[in-house]
Amino acid sequence: MTANITASFHPPRRILMGPGPSDVNPRILAAMGQPTIGHLDPAFVDLMDEVKGLLQYAFQTRNELTLPISAPGSAGMEAAFVNLIEPGDTVIVCQNGVFGGRMKENVTRAGATAVMVTDDWGTVIDLEKAQAAIKANPGARALAFVHAETSTGVASDAAALCKMASAAGMLSILDAVTSVGGIPVAVDAWGADATYSGTQKCLSCTPGISPITFSERAAERIRTRGVPVQSWFLDMNLIMGYWGAATKRAYHHTAPINAIYALHESLVILQEEGLEASWARHRKNHEALRDGLEAMGLSLPVDPRVRLPQLNLVSVPDGVDEARVRAELLEHHGLEIGAGLGALAGKAWRIGLMGYGSNPANVRLCLSALEGALLRQGVKLKAGAAVAAADAAYA
């Protein structure tokens, strides 16, 4: 029997302005294409040390236990929970979107009890409600929350939440998947105990790696657990032997060599630009996009004081087929924006301005393409006003 020959895959050109992945800087793609070497090669071990240092810069921490998990951001979340939480523990979980719900799943699968602090989608975590839950559960092991909720475009007060946890003798578990590189993240200044991120958002790297950092307090908790970590692959007691500071590295798993090249280059680019400059760039492009959207009569429902500049939630006008708009943008412009999730499904778009993709050309293209799609659905708006408003913002 003769097998059919399958052709090589050649992906279409896309401009990624959804909730992630974001556009990948060509420098990162080039780094990823360099020759593969062994995961214990001395040159790769040197690179691992550089990656750790660069991640400490990105997280703004001196934590020794800082490394990239060889799996996407969801594995970073799981690593935080399975290492710090044991069966019988209680964890206070703040939920104001999709990813707080995933935190709850991790707690229950670790054999612990999740005490939920829930807030409406599109709003921040209510600090008074969080404090009340801490007071009502003095023996809780940890307080867990999402800093930048990707499903809603909201930034909660990470500094205040970490401070509350620490004052109560609890660990803090912080989801910074969409934050790092886009808005300030200050692990040491906040006193965060476990913070994880993802490469495919504001770092503009390919998906598949989750940077994570643990405070010394959290690391001690991992070392002195009463029962083994339920996940062998994500057990930091084992991974520390591979990513630790010792000169001799213990084999744990075969790291994704070329993906680590890509992460290294993305962090070099972030360092070259500077954290403050990166945050300012994301803010400036957000302001131009916001002005253009509002010139079209569209609204951004999240309170301006807590909006994420890198992930913009936009209300769909009455009578508009939002899925058709997204399909048109993809078909005619190669432009991807995101749909609403959960309670926001069918009611909102999520427009990402993350990392390399946060630039004026993408802002103008998105506004022009969205304007055309809305006009074709009969929405009354002034043609050209959106781009003109963005231009005024840049001027």
Helix (H), strand (E), coil (C) string for 217-238: HHHHHHHCCCCCCCCCCCCHHH
Taking the CA of residue 295 as centre, how many other CA atoms within 13 Å lie in the half-sphere pointing to its CB? 23
- Residue closest to 229 by CA, chosen among 79, 103, 104, 82: 82
> Do residues 250 and 283 share a domain?
no
Domain count, the chain: 2
CATH number for the domain spanning 108: value is 3.40.640.10
3-state secondary structure of 302: coil
- Residue closest to 341 by CA, chosen among 369, 301, 313: 313
Residue ending a domain, choose from 228, 251, 271: 271
Domain region containing 340 = 275-394
Residue 67, token pair as written in the block: 């490394």
Does some domain include residue 223?
yes
pTM strictly above 0.75: yes
Residue ending a domain, choose from 248, 271, 294: 271
CA 216 – CA 226 distance, rounded (Å): 18
Please give the pLDDT value at position 245: 63
Does some domain include residue 68?
yes
> Do residues 172 and 91 share a domain?
yes
CA 127 – CA 225 distance, rounded (Å): 30
Residue 245, token pair as written in the block: 């500071």
> Do residues 235 and 160 share a domain?
yes
CATH number for the domain spanning 376: value is 3.90.1150.10
Does some domain include residue 20?
no
- Residue closest to 317 by CA, chosen among 386, 380, 385: 380
Residue ending a domain, choose from 214, 242, 271: 271
> Do residues 243 and 383 share a domain?
no
pLDDT 10s digit of each residue in the chain, 395 long?
A: 667 899 999 999 999 999 999 999 999 999 999 999 999 999 999 999 999 999 999 999 999 999 999 999 999 999 999 999 999 999 999 999 999 999 999 999 999 999 999 999 999 999 999 999 999 999 999 999 999 999 999 999 999 999 999 999 999 999 999 999 999 999 999 999 999 999 999 999 999 999 999 999 999 999 999 999 999 999 999 998 888 765 578 889 999 999 999 999 999 999 999 999 999 999 999 999 999 999 999 999 999 999 999 999 999 999 999 999 999 999 999 999 999 998 899 999 999 999 999 999 999 999 999 999 999 999 999 999 999 999 999 99
Q: What φ, ψ does residue 138 adopt, rounded to 5°? A: -65, -20
Does some domain include residue 383?
yes
